C-alpha cells in the first residue's frame, strides 16, 4: 500500500510539472526561485530599476565576478527601501489626516481630546469597561481605502483581551461602549501603530474599526480612569 501511495504521489508530481511546462523538479524549483526573488522585489517597493543589470548582477555574483560586494549591495538596498518606506509613510500620514478632518464633520461622529473619533451605531445596555478590564469583541478592521487588514468577523471567532494590552485607540475607545453595543472607531496613526508597519498595515496609517462589545470581564484592582466623553458631537 505504501509503495502504491508513493508511486501515485510521484505520478501526480510529474503530471503537475508537465502541466506547468517543466520536465524535471530542478526546472520547477528553478522557476520557483525566480518567483521568490520577484516577490521579494515587489515587496521592497522598488519599481524604478534596470532589469538587465539585475540579471547581470545575479549572474556575475553567482560566478564570483561581481563588481560590487554583498555588504555594499545590502547597504544600498536598505537605504533605498527605507527611503521608499519613509515616502509612503509621509503620504499615509497626510492621507489619514485629510480623511479624519473630513470624517469628523459627519453626523454623530464624536471626537475626543486625543483625536480619536467614534460613532455609536447601536447603544449597549450592559457593563461598561475601564482600562484594566478584559473584553470579548467582534471587530472588522480596514484602512481608510477600505482594505481589510484584520477581521474577527471574517474568521467567525470573537477576540478576548485586556484593554491594557492593545493600541491606545482601542484602550480609550472601548471605554465609551457598553455590552451589546456596536461602535465604529476612526483611529489616528498616533493612537494606532505610529510609523511602524504591521503586517498589512503600512506605517502612519489611520485605521477604521467596526466593533461589537460582546462581554466585559471586570478585573480586580486599580483600573485606568475612564476617558471623558465629548459633551456633544464635533462641530459641523
Q: Are 230 and 115 in contact (CB under 8 A)?
A: no
Return the sign of the alpha-carbon dihedral for residues 7, 8, 9, 12.
positive
Q: Annotated catalytic residue: which of 118, 193, 201, 208? A: 193
Q: Beta-strand (E) ranges in the chain?
A: 110-111, 117-122, 134-143, 148-151, 159-162, 182-187, 207-217
Query: Which of 118, 130, 133, 150 does the annotation list as catalytic?
Result: 150
Q: Which residue has the cell 466593533?
A: 211
Q: Active-site residue 209, yes or no?
A: yes
Is 185 among the residues known to form the active site?
no
193 belongs to the catalytic site: yes
* Among the listed residues 56, 49, 45, 51, the one whose alpha carbon sits nearest the alpha carbon of residue 78: 45
31 is catalytic: no
User: Grid coordinates standing for 232?
Assistant: 456633544
Cell of 19: 502541466
Q: How many helices (H) and strands (E) does the chain have?
A: 6, 7
Cell numbers placing 36: 521568490
Out of 22, 31, 84, 139, which one is annotated catalytic? 139
User: 214 an active-site residue?
Assistant: no
Cβ 88 vs Cβ 45: under 8 Å: yes
Buried b (16+ CB within 10 A) or exposed e, 85-109: beebbeebbebbeebbeebbeeeeb
Catalytic member of 22, 31, 149, 214: 149
Q: Is 144 a catalytic residue?
A: no
User: Active-site residue among 84, 144, 167, 214?
Assistant: 167
Residues annotated as catalytic are: 139, 149-150, 167, 193, 209
Amino acid at each position: 500500500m505504501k509503495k502504491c501511495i508513493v508511486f501515485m504521489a510521484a505520478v501526480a508530481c510529474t503530471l503537475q510539472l508537465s502541466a506547468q511546462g517543466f520536465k524535471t523538479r530542478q526546472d520547477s524549483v528553478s522557476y520557483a526561485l525566480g518567483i521568490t526573488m520577484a516577490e521579494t522585489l515587489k515587496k521592497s517597493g522598488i519599481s524604478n530599476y534596470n532589469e538587465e543589470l539585475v540579471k547581470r548582477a545575479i549572474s556575475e555574483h553567482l560566478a564570483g565576478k561581481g563588481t560590487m560586494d554583498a555588504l555594499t549591495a545590502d547597504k544600498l538596498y536598505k537605504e533605498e527601501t527605507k527611503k521608499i518606506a519613509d515616502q509612503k509613510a509621509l503620504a499615509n500620514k497626510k492621507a489619514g489626516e485629510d480623511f479624519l478632518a473630513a470624517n469628523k464633520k459627519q453626523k454623530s461622529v464624536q471626537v475626543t481630546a486625543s483625536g480619536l473619533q467614534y460613532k455609536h451605531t447601536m447603544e449597549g445596555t450592559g457593563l461598561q469597561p475601564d482600562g484594566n478590564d478584559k473584553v470579548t469583541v467582534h471587530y472588522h478592521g480596514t484602512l481608510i481605502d477600505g482594505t481589510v487588514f484584520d477581521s474577527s468577523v471574517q474568521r467567525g471567532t470573537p477576540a478576548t483581551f485586556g484593554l491594557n494590552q492593545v493600541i491606545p485607540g482601542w484602550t480609550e475607545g472601548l471605554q465609551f461602549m457598553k455590552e451589546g453595543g456596536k461602535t465604529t472607531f476612526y483611529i489616528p496613526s498616533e493612537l494606532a501603530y505610529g510609523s511602524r508597519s504591521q503586517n498589512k498595515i503600512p506605517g502612519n496609517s489611520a485605521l477604521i474599526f467596526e466593533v461589537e462589545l460582546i462581554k466585559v470581564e471586570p478585573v480586580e484592582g486599580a483600573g485606568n480612569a475612564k476617558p471623558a466623553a465629548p459633551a456633544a458631537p464635533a462641530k459641523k
